[in-house]
Amino acid sequence: MPPIIPVEPGRIPEAGFALLSNRIPVYMIEAGTEDIMRIDFTFMAGQAAEYLPLLASTTNMMLTEGSLHYSSSRLNKILDFHGAFYNLYTEKDRAGIVIFFMNKHIEKILELAREIIFDPLFPAAELKTLMKKRLRWYLVNRDKVSSLAIDQLFESIFGKDHPCGRQAVQDDFLNLSPALLSDFHSQYYTPENLAIIVSGKIHRNTVDLLNKFFGELHSAGRSIKESGNVIKSEERKQVHINKKGAVQTAIRIGSLSINKLHPDYPGMKVLNVVLGGYFNSRLMKNIREEKGLTYGIHSVINSLIISGFKVISTEVSKKSTQKAIDEIYKEIQLLQEVPVEKEELGIVKNYMLGEIVRMFDGPFAIAESFRSVWEFGLDNKYYYRLVEKIKTIEPDEITALAKTYYKSDDLYQITAG
């Protein structure tokens, strides 16, 4: 057997920084060999900000449906002609647009990006079409046990009235108007609220060009109202959603949790990997590789500004549902009572250090890793802390974390099938 060299993530690339004339921050990640670029125009305009169901995502999706100078089809034709790809996104915290393109087209792309982001018209006819389409997608999704279960879990942990927990119903697809979208847009999609993250081959004139297209913009002076949303988790810890004719049952077990800002978070990352965060995890080994009950079982911990949350997810045949649930709790309990063996912990540590190397491999991966700490007001120090924690964590600390954060009374158990 060849010797294994300990994995050492080494220096994590730092992002360059510039301010445009109007103080829009620009973060630059220079890497890669091709003359291509990815730009993320990002706003705190995610689901958590919406005061009506579907408002944040619909506003975002309507950005490319017609603007001051371009109809939607013309806009898309031009972007396609230049070989550009874009991805409109609405997450729980943030929303925006990511555009991938070849550098030779940067001026045209920036001109269109400004138009898309700041001059949308939200035409009524296009909105109506979009909402009809979205309703069809929604209906298809509501036929998937996995969607039913995760939507219910979010409702249970964030509460029925919180935008991150509220489940859309059919009527919600009829209630949005251009005026509502404009109002949301004018509050959240403002130059003051924008950050630009550029990655790829950065040129000497990149910042100048961004200044040319984005540096003069100012908003009409509207500011964001405090949402006043409070998380109020549901009382009922176990919910089953009946789905006629389902072959499998989706299981989601989870709860609110700490986020990246908490000192225990890096340790929780390690605990999560042991439990269900990689192919050799406890849950995979037990429930897939020893019992063959499922095609896959995973656990994640996720970080939002307002809170973190953790979820264990799997789909199993209907008759094995209870068995799988019992085994999940058994694995949690085992982590609370028996220290992880050194050998297993060694595997987890090396796998995680390898993951960190992959998270910083290439400009686009670096840009995503940058954003996921930047949005919490953190910087690379977080990653150095994480690396340090991975290297030094002891079995006892994992046991203690499992006891603190995986109390079975705190966990919500959702099944759909």
Identify the residue among 52, 180, 347, 359 touching other proteins (CB under 8 A). 347
Query: Which of 247, 338 has the CB closer to other proteins?
Result: 247
Residue 201 engages other proteins in binding (rule: CB under 8 A):
no
Out of 47, 57, 229, 294, the residue judged to bind other proteins by CB under 8 A: 294
| Nearer residue to other proteins within complex by CB, 4 or 220 | 4
Query: Can residue 58 be called a binding residue for other proteins (CB under 8 A)?
Result: no
Specify the residue, 129 or 227, whose C-beta has the smaller distance to other proteins. 129
Residue 246 is a binding residue for other proteins (CB under 8 A) = yes
Q: Which of 57, 64, 257, 286 binds other proteins (CB under 8 A)?
A: 64
Q: Which of 228, 410, 397 lies closest to 309, judged by CA?
A: 410
Q: Please name the residue that has the structure tokens 């829009």.
A: 24
Q: How far is the CB of 237 from other proteins (least distance, A)?
A: 25
Q: Which of 322, 357, 384, 407 binds other proteins (CB under 8 A)?
A: 357
By CB under 8 A, tell whether 2 contacts other proteins: yes
In degrees, rounded to 5, the angle at the alpha carbon of residue 119 between the alpha carbons of residues 113 and 123 is 115
Q: Are 48 and 164 in contact (CB under 8 A)?
A: yes
Instruction: For the CB of residue 100, give the shortest distance to other proteins in the complex, in Å.
Output: 6
Question: Whats the size of the chain, residue-wise?
Answer: 417
- Pairing relationship of beta strands 25-30 and 85-90 according to DSSP bridges: unpaired
Span from 51-59, 332-340, 341-349, 379-387 in contact with other proteins (CB under 8 A): 341-349
Residue 54 or 164 having the CB closest to other proteins: 54
Helix (H, G, I), strand (E, B) or coil at 244: coil
Q: Which is nearer to other proteins, 124 or 139 (CB)?
A: 139
Look up residue 111 and give its two tokens. Answer: 């001109």
Alpha helices in 47-203 (DSSP H): 55-61, 72-81, 106-118, 124-141, 145-158, 178-188
| 147 backbone dihedrals φ, ψ, rounded to 5° | -70, -45
Here's the x/- map for other proteins, 73-102, by CB under 8 A: it reads as x--xx-xxxxxxx--------------xxx
The token pair at 41 is 């125009």
Say if residues 100 and 37 touch (Cβ distance below 8 Å): yes
Closest CB 120 distance from other proteins, rounded Å = 15
Structure tokens at 390: 């991975």
Q: Closest approach of Cβ 41 to other proteins, in Å?
A: 18
Taking CB under 8 A as the criterion, the residue among 7, 168, 241, 400 binding other proteins is 7
Beta bridge partners of residue 90, listed in sequence order: 95
Cβ-contact 285, 338 below 8 angstroms: no
Binding flags for other proteins, 113-152, as an x/- string (CB under 8 A): ----------------x--xx--xx-xx-xxxx-------
The reply on whether position 279 binds other proteins by CB under 8 A is yes
Nearer to other proteins, 49 or 356 (CB): 356
Closest of 155, 178, 191, 162 to residue 26, by C-alpha: 191
Q: Contact between 5 and other proteins (CB under 8 A)? A: yes
Among 18, 22, 36, 182, the residue binding other proteins under the rule CB under 8 A is: 36
Mention every residue, 6+ apart, whose C-beta is less than 8 A from residue 295: 288, 315
Size of the site for other proteins (CB under 8 A): 70
Provide DSSP, 45-73.
-SGGG-SSTTHHHHHHHGGGS-BSS--HH
- Phi, psi for 415 (deg, rounded to 5): -130, 145
Find all residues with CB under 8 Å of 290, minimum gap 6, and list them.
none
Task: Name which of residues 301 to 330 contact other proteins (CB under 8 A).
Answer: 315-317
380 binds other proteins (CB under 8 A): no
Task: Name the residue with tokens 């039913």.
Answer: 148
- Residues forming the site for other proteins (CB under 8 A): 1-2, 4-5, 7, 10, 31-34, 36, 64, 72-73, 76-77, 79-85, 100-102, 129, 132-133, 136-137, 139-140, 142-145, 244-248, 278-280, 288-295, 315-317, 346-348, 350-351, 353-355, 357-358, 361-364
